[in-house]
Structure 1
């Protein structure tokens, strides 16, 4: 049985219409909204962790996707997506305005760096290889949608006569063939068992530059495929767009050279450079995370970011915004599963939000009651005082979590009660010292976390917890949800009720988190794993303290901001370890956090470590620490 949630990467969905039916319009709108037209005019450096949606957006703006969306038979489910793309002028008058092609960086591009040639020659080969593949990709996009080259005209800019003649741009077919000859020549050089020396390469393979990006302005389509689903005899000029995906696969110097070339203002081709944070300078990435604005990178003289190019971080910055995206994606995926569709199931939330089986069994509940009674007796609290404290717990709380919250209040009241030893042997405290405010939701959350560890009461269940466990990362959400949907499908096949008990959800999510952490495969992953464990152990000890001093508990440590600034400026080993921890959501970077008249830099555990170690998914609870203590947590860093 096909579970679309298990196809975590959109590249695995080969049918374009199926892919589009699963794409939410919300992240697309979020991506385009702030900069709008600049994203098509300037080089846009799109930076994001795996699974954040980079490739999905790249596929959506490809010509094949835009054309499919414009067809009259396009699914109504894509109407919002069409509206967003039309609003940002990727679709105009019901037709694509962009001829986009996504080009993933293969090993052949990286291999150019290893050729025994001068750096200038290697850069020329890289540029020519990328441009020739882009031209071939654009024509392939037209081919796939049935656009005949007989009805396509190459549009060049002013003063392009030489390039026009050299590249045979008078006819679309000859323009394509010339690009194919360039691509083939470079491919033979790169894949040679023994690369030719530079002079032989120039004489026998390639001795000409190939630069079309600076003069190419568009592809005029004079006639669209004649069918009931598409307009005909419509004269449209498509703006070429190249999306260089997985640019982090290049050598760092290649990446910088490519970026500096693509930022050329004269280019009429829209260009996006998509990469993981690994290849971006650690300092710039942290600044972008902290301010969501662009800091100065080590650029070439005369280059100014935001003037020459845009750095775009792929992240939905608030839980509320991501919740909208996750809910929409879940509905689309659920709707595509026949077993659910036949039963009229279109929403994941009610299948997960089942609380009836979450409370402690009667025998276990009595154990908790006995512990609370003993604690009250040891504290010399009268029944009246205990009842007064219990009245502060919200009435809608479940019985076991209400009792666990009462235990927390007893511990807190005990800590605030002075000179209890001065009471007589038969005297009990009747009046609380603390105020009589109702306990807030964080105390109840802390009670639930304590019950999870003490009695294995399920904690990670329900749609809200699933979304919180996703770190605002679409792939992580789909992966975690896929684990739950697998279990739901199994129940449906056995003709059982289509819902998942809290215990089953909890076990599945924790297991998936532990496996994902075991699969971490990025630089310093073992060091990051050890650091995460040290932080988690400290946070767990704080969380399980009887008085729950941080309410829901801790899942972060705080380092004084000035100390953190100092270590990050050094760009040493610890700074690099933290960079990869931030880049892959093992830790979250929260600078400038003000608390207790101090400014802290928080290192929050990512959602997966929180699941794996049984910590709250609420944010804000942290343990005060120091740079020296942080260094002691990192293997090989020393005290």
Structure 2
């Protein structure tokens, strides 16, 4: 039985008609939410780790996908069609974009190794990108069966008469043929056993092939609208995928060229964080965590380009939970054996409400609470008052663990009594309000570390463990679905126990960390190990001072700004830790009358080290304390 959760969507399916039903509309709306239509008008550098969904979004807005969806939106994916209409990518049921995804293959990188001057190599790169984009646009248009190439009009700027003649833009057939000739000429140079001399490159170098600077749109007449003389305008868009495969200087050349304001087509450059400067990356992260009502740096009109992160830090777990449920339902529908058993949603499989300690462990916990009650010499009235703060619906083991925390807090605040002192007070010093959900969460975490009680289970935990990363959610879910499939094959009840979920997620988290191979990953692991030990020690204190526990180190913002402004080892280590979600960057966090920069341990290492997945619990430190965690 095949498990689609174990494969990336863009690898699992190639045809738009098969891919589109699996795509959730929510991430697309999230992606466009901050910068909106500017993402289609300016150079947008889309940055994300492998599997974060960059290519999936690119595939969705490619013309063949839009045309497929427009033909039958209700049957294929109604929610996605509505979302694309809201974004004006579909207008009146018709695509408004002519997007083509251009992967940076080894041929593009090979241009850098040619024995020419830097300016000539840059010219070859631009010619190759533009010619392949033009050919890609025409291939996309050819996917529409009823569309004739002679119906296409290439619209250029009003002051580009000479350019139209050079580019042969008056005839779509000649326009494409000219692009094919340029592409072939560059390809021959790249693949030649002996590179031709610079003098032999005159055909390419002397004829400036600058399609992007002159073309504005494709106009398709008598298509879809059906009325003679009517037309549909399509905005050409080039999506340069895997741009990190280029040489760093090539990447910089590509970026500086595409950000020119006289280029009117849409253009995205999609890459991993490795090729983006730490300063730009942190600025983008800081932008993501600002409140919606504030002016965001980089969004004002006229900016040269937009740096867009695929995994912003400010998305709430509740919002991602909606995405996770939608995606899981779409993937589960593709597993026939599970569909036949009416298994259509993950929450029904994962959520458990009656997880409890074994009888012997519960008795051990009860004895420890009773013993401390006696040692603390707190009055029965105070103890009863503390017990009354715990909701009656709380499970017995959680209630005992929460009471133990309350007793410790009360004892810490109560002046110690001498042998001849009067009876203790009957009024609790810690208040009488009902305990918070965060304290109960901390009690569960302490039960996990003390008795091995399952903690990482259920749909909510799975969503939190995904760090707002769709691919990470699919990978974590895939391991759980593997276990479910095994049970179904063996004719056992199709559900996963809390302990099984907990064990699977912890084992997979350790495996993922072992597989890390990004730059500075060894130093990142050293940093995480030191941070996690301190966070765990604070979490397991008997009085749970941070309620649900700690999973972050807080450095004063002004101190962190100083180190990030310098180029040194810690800056590079933090850059790759942020980029690959080993750490989450939370700047400008206001607490206790100060502004902090939180370095929050990512979800995968948090599970591996047994920490909370909730945000907010942090340990105050200084920069020197953080640097001490790095080995020489």
TM-score in terms of structure 2 length: 0.93
Q: State which drifts further: 383-392 or 323-332.
A: 383-392
Alpha-carbon shift at residue 547 of structure 1 (Å): 0.8
| Structure 1 residues 45-75: Cα deviation after superposition (integer angstroms, max 9, x where no partner) | 2223333322111111100110000113x45
Alpha-carbon shift at residue 3 of structure 1 (Å): 1.8
| Residue 66 (structure 1) aligned with residue 87 (structure 2) | no
- Aligned match of 2:128: 129
Alpha-carbon shift at residue 269 of structure 1 (Å): 1.8
Decide whether the 8 Å contact of 2:223 with 2:232 is kept in 1: no
CA distance in 2, matches of 1:448, 1:85: 42
SS at match of 1:633: coil
Decide whether the 8 Å contact of 2:215 with 2:264 is kept in 1: yes
CA distance in 2, matches of 1:433, 1:222: 79
Alpha-carbon shift at residue 461 of structure 1 (Å): 0.6
CA distance in 2, matches of 1:50, 1:116: 32
- Aligned match of 2:22: 22
Quickly say closer, same or farther: Cα 1:550–1:67, change in 2 above 3 A: same
Quickly say closer, same or farther: Cα 1:433–1:85, change in 2 above 3 A: closer
CA distance in 1, matches of 2:328, 2:534: 35
- Aligned match of 1:335: 333
Q: State which drifts further: 455-464 or 151-160.
A: 151-160
Query: Which residue of the other structure, out of 604, 608, 611, is the alignment partner of 1:608?
Result: 604
| Structure 1 residues 456-489: Cα deviation after superposition (integer angstroms, max 9, x where no partner) | 1000111111111111111111111111122122
- Aligned match of 1:300: none
CA distance in 2, matches of 1:86, 1:28: 12
CA distance in 1, matches of 2:89, 2:588: 38
Quickly say closer, same or farther: Cα 1:603–1:26, change in 2 above 3 A: same
Alpha-carbon shift at residue 200 of structure 1 (Å): 3.8
Q: State which drifts further: 322-331 or 143-152.
A: 143-152
- Aligned match of 2:106: 107
- Aligned match of 1:570: 566
Query: Which residue of the other structure, out of 361, 364, 369, is the alignment partner of 1:364?
Result: 361
Decide whether the 8 Å contact of 1:9 with 1:51 is kept in 2: no
- Aligned match of 1:518: 514
Gaps of 5+ in 2: 289-294
Alpha-carbon shift at residue 294 of structure 1 (Å): 6.5
CA distance in 1, matches of 2:9, 2:342: 27
Question: Map of 1:323-402 to 2, 5 A cutoff?
Answer: 323-356=321-354, 358-402=355-399
CA distance in 2, matches of 1:468, 1:529: 21
Q: State which drifts further: 516-525 or 166-175.
A: 166-175
- Aligned match of 1:213: 212
SS at match of 1:321: helix
CA distance in 1, matches of 2:158, 2:301: 27
CA distance in 1, matches of 2:134, 2:182: 11
Decide whether the 8 Å contact of 2:152 with 2:221 is kept in 1: yes
Alpha-carbon shift at residue 552 of structure 1 (Å): 0.6
- Aligned match of 1:413: 410
Decide whether the 8 Å contact of 1:43 with 1:263 is kept in 2: yes
Quickly say closer, same or farther: Cα 1:36–1:93, change in 2 above 3 A: same
CA distance in 2, matches of 1:531, 1:285: 20
CA distance in 2, matches of 1:429, 1:308: 68
Alpha-carbon shift at residue 423 of structure 1 (Å): 4.8
Question: Map of 1:486-501 to 2, 5 A cutoff?
Answer: 486-501=482-497
Decide whether the 8 Å contact of 1:354 with 1:500 is kept in 2: no
Question: Map of 1:265-280 to 2, 5 A cutoff?
Answer: 265-280=261-276
SS at match of 1:594: strand
- Aligned match of 1:308: 304
- Aligned match of 2:90: 91
Q: State which drifts further: 94-103 or 50-59.
A: 50-59
SS at match of 1:273: strand
Q: State which drifts further: 16-25 or 594-603.
A: 594-603
| Residue 176 (structure 1) aligned with residue 176 (structure 2) | yes
User: How many residues are aligned here?
Assistant: 622
CA distance in 2, matches of 1:582, 1:83: 34
Question: Map of 1:120-199 to 2, 5 A cutoff?
Answer: 120-146=119-145, 147-199=147-199
Decide whether the 8 Å contact of 2:554 with 2:599 is kept in 1: yes
| Residue 445 (structure 1) aligned with residue 441 (structure 2) | yes
Q: State which drifts further: 567-576 or 331-340.
A: 331-340
CA distance in 2, matches of 1:29, 1:565: 32
Alpha-carbon shift at residue 430 of structure 1 (Å): 5.8
Q: State which drifts further: 363-372 or 464-473.
A: 363-372
Alpha-carbon shift at residue 109 of structure 1 (Å): 1.4
CA distance in 2, matches of 1:218, 1:412: 68
- Aligned match of 2:554: 558
Q: State which drifts further: 528-537 or 477-486.
A: 477-486
| Residue 590 (structure 1) aligned with residue 586 (structure 2) | yes
Question: Map of 1:542-553 to 2, 5 A cutoff?
Answer: 542-553=538-549
Alpha-carbon shift at residue 132 of structure 1 (Å): 0.8
CA distance in 1, matches of 2:9, 2:75: 24
Q: State which drifts further: 113-122 or 426-435.
A: 426-435
